[in-house]
Amino acid sequence: MKTLSENACFGGTQGVYSHASTSCACDMTFAVFLPEEAKDGPVPVLWYLSGLTCTHENAMTKAGAQAWAAEHGIALIFPDTSPRGDDVADDEAYDLGKGAGFYVDATQDPWAPNFQMWTYITDELPALIGENFAIDMDRQGITGHSMGGHGALTMAMGLPGRFKSVSAFAPISNPTAADWGRKQLAAYLGDDETKWAAHDATLMMAEKGFDGPILIDTGTNDQFIDLLKPEALAAAIATKRQQATVRLQPGYDHSYFFVSTFMEDHVAFHADALYAE
Amino acid sequence: MKTLSENACFGGTQGVYSHASTSCACDMTFAVFLPEEAKDGPVPVLWYLSGLTCTHENAMTKAGAQAWAAEHGIALIFPDTSPRGDDVADDEAYDLGKGAGFYVDATQDPWAPNFQMWTYITDELPALIGENFAIDMDRQGITGHSMGGHGALTMAMGLPGRFKSVSAFAPISNPTAADWGRKQLAAYLGDDETKWAAHDATLMMAEKGFDGPILIDTGTNDQFIDLLKPEALAAAIATKRQQATVRLQPGYDHSYFFVSTFMEDHVAFHADALYAE
């Protein structure tokens, strides 16, 4: 693991690191915020998964999460959204290939050799972080924006017991039924739609739900709301009697101005769950 | 004036606008954050002047100022740092020409036709904003980062009665005595150093001071601290018996991780002054 930068930030440290990823077969970059409390011992952690076209950097610089993570003594992890490098397959579209890993393990060519983002985020990166940072991997929460909200919800439901709490900002909520989803799931996982179900938050909610609290915010003026399908997940949550808060925020769009506005609530929500025991 | 974008943000609106500037003889872009309270009538305002290489966008997306401006019911203005466009003179160096206006009115060629940033920020832009936004121009504070901290301090002292309060993050504090300053003041104002004194916060402090409170933060690990010369301004403030708080923040550098960390304090500091009467 290589340190690319470390900056003092809200009493703690915002660092950026790279390492040779075995699952993605390329160098990967990620960012970690450690609050001041991490100097005294392991702290709880909140994962933030980013959306289409993003890297580790967008949320790190624009979401304003460090202010609230510092207040609650929580670490933040900002992974990249796809494998990177000249040898990695890509597509001309912004929503497939680099910057658009969709948090799945690709089985199809040309994606399979590198696009193993599910394994990377849920297995390889947690192991690396557990070894190198003062983070208590028994107290993890997960959140994300758009494609990253999809990743957060599917990982939280797909790995029971791993995360104490899950939240999302404008998540892609029903990708098997939307253009943000069908195209990518077909490309990465193939045409057999039964293999897609493990990566659709609405279908997973109907089938299994989540053993903990959920918080979801979506703006009523979100320019992509027809692709996100919050109504499908909201209905599934209500049908399942799942512990959850689903909010439609009047006037907000899909931007980081929306994300940063509600970040305080989301970090406080996770802090409640992470400090509950 | 043209609206380029408006996003809901912390209960208010973050907008980006452009207009044909007469002082800079080019189109200029600026950003305004209006808190929710502006719907009911004019609100106080805090100007944020950015540093070298920045546009209106850097602080708007990375400084986290809207959270605190919303809390205090204060508007924010983020101007650009120089004239722009293909017809505007430039230099290969990052610290001269575009992105490096230094908040002066250039008298020398090739800069004089467009680089009139003092007049633009103190005269043209306030008039435009006063006409178009619910902002109370009798309650203005000003802050800035690096070159923008220099701009904030020199404008506050150069226009007595205009600003109720001034603060700065890692300001260029004594530009007539540093490489961030001598080069630019010579290029824009010519070789007669007597003309530079009206754009040096340390010299202005010694001569006239400021009729209100001052807050200045600089990181002890600032990689440019030898160019900023905080010690010169600190000495001038103490000698003048100027009402001021000058803080050296342990471990912080010159980045927006530093700026965002202390933004809450700066906005609260200005709110105290803007709501004092």
Tell me what the mean pLDDT of segment A200-226 comes to. 97
Each residue's pLDDT tens digit, A29-51: 999 999 999 999 999 999 999 99
**What's the pLDDT score for residue B277?**
63
Mean pLDDT of A50-70: 98
Between strands B2-9 and B12-21, the pairing is: antiparallel
Whether pLDDT at A277 is above 70: no
- pLDDT tens digits along B28-64: 999 999 999 999 999 999 999 999 999 999 999 999 9
Query: What pLDDT, on the 0 to 100 scale, is given for residue B239?
Result: 94
DSSP annotation of B173: -
| B9: chain A residues, CB-CB within 8 Å | 257-258, 260-261
Query: Cβ of A14 and B256 within 8 Å?
Result: no
Number of domains in chain B: 1
Tens-digit pLDDT profile for residues B1-14: 999 999 999 999 99
Name the active-site residue from A146, A165, A167, A173. A146
CB B252 within 8 A of CB B261: yes
- Which chain A residues in 184-243 lie under 8 Å from chain B, judged by CB atoms? 219, 221
3-class SS letters over chain A: CEEEEEEEECCEEEEEEEEEECCCCEEEEEEEEECHHHHCCCEEEEEEECCCCCCCHHHHHHCCHHHHHHHHCCEEEEECCCCCCCCCCCCCCCCCECCECCCCECCCCCCCCCCEHHHHHHHHHHHHHHHHCCEEEEEEEEEEECHHHHHHHHHHHHCCCCCCEEEEECCCCCHHHCHHHHHHHHHHHCCCHHHHHHHCHHHHHHHCCCCCCEEEEEECCCCCHHHHCHHHHHHHHHHHCCCEEEEEECCCCCCHHHHHHHHHHHHHHHHHHHCCC
Average pLDDT taken over every residue of chain B: 97
Decide if pLDDT at B157 tops 70: yes
pLDDT value of position B169: 98
Which residues from B are below 8 Å from A61, CB to CB? 61-62, 256
Chain A, nearest residue to B64 by Cα: A64
CB-CB under 8 Å, A255 with B7: yes
Instruction: Give the model's pLDDT for residue A227.
Output: 97
B249 contacts on A by Cβ (under 8 Å): 8
Look up A146 and say whether it is catalytic.
Answer: yes
Q: Which residues of chain B from 232 to 271 reach within 8 Å of chain A, CB to CB? A: 249-253, 255-258, 260-261, 264
- What is the percent of chain B with per-residue pLDDT over 90, rounded to a whole number? 99
Give the rounded percent of residues in chain B with a pLDDT score beyond 70. Answer: 100
Whole-number pLDDT of residue A117: 98
CB contact under 8 A, B8 and A261: yes
- pLDDT, tens digit, for every residue of B158-203? 999 999 999 999 999 999 999 999 999 999 999 999 999 999 999 9
A72 included as an active-site residue = no
The token pair at B35 is 């808190």
Question: What value does the mean pLDDT take over residues A226-254?
Answer: 95
Which of A9, A34, A60 to substitute to test the interface with B, most B CBs within 10 Å?
A: A9
Substitution target from B220, B257, B259 for chain A, most A beta carbons within 10 A: B257
Q: Å from A64 to nearest chain B CA?
A: 6
For A77-124, how does the pLDDT look when each residue is reduced to its tens digit (9 = 90+)?
999 999 999 999 999 999 999 999 999 999 999 999 999 999 999 999
The pLDDT value recorded for residue A197 is 97
Query: Could you tell me how far CA A227 lies from the centroid of its own chain?
Result: 18
Supply angle C-alpha A265, A72, A138, rounded to 5: 100
Look over chain A and give the mean of its residue pLDDT values, rounded to a whole number.
Answer: 97
Output the domain CATH number for residue B260.
Answer: 3.40.50.1820
Q: Per the omega criterion (within 30 degrees of 0), is the bond before A126 cis?
A: no
Helix/strand/coil for B45: strand
Query: What's the CA gap between B255 and B201, in Å, rounded?
Result: 22
Decide: residue A158, CB within 10 A, 0-12 exposed, 13-18 middle, 19+ buried.
Answer: middle
Q: pLDDT by residue (tens digit) across B85-102?
A: 999 999 999 999 999 999
Cα angle vertex A211, ends A209, A213, to 5°? 95
Is A254 noted as a catalytic residue in this protein? yes
| Complex confidence, ipTM | 0.85
Look up residue A246 and give its two tokens.
């689903």
- Print the domain residue range for A10: 2-275
User: Chain A partners of B261 at a C-beta cutoff of 8 Å?
Assistant: 8-11, 66-67
- Per-residue pLDDT tens digits for B68-86: 999 999 999 999 999 999 9
> Which segments within chain B are labelled E, that is strand?
2-9, 12-21, 26-34, 43-49, 75-79, 135-144, 165-169, 214-219, 244-249
Nearest C-alpha in A relative to B254: A7
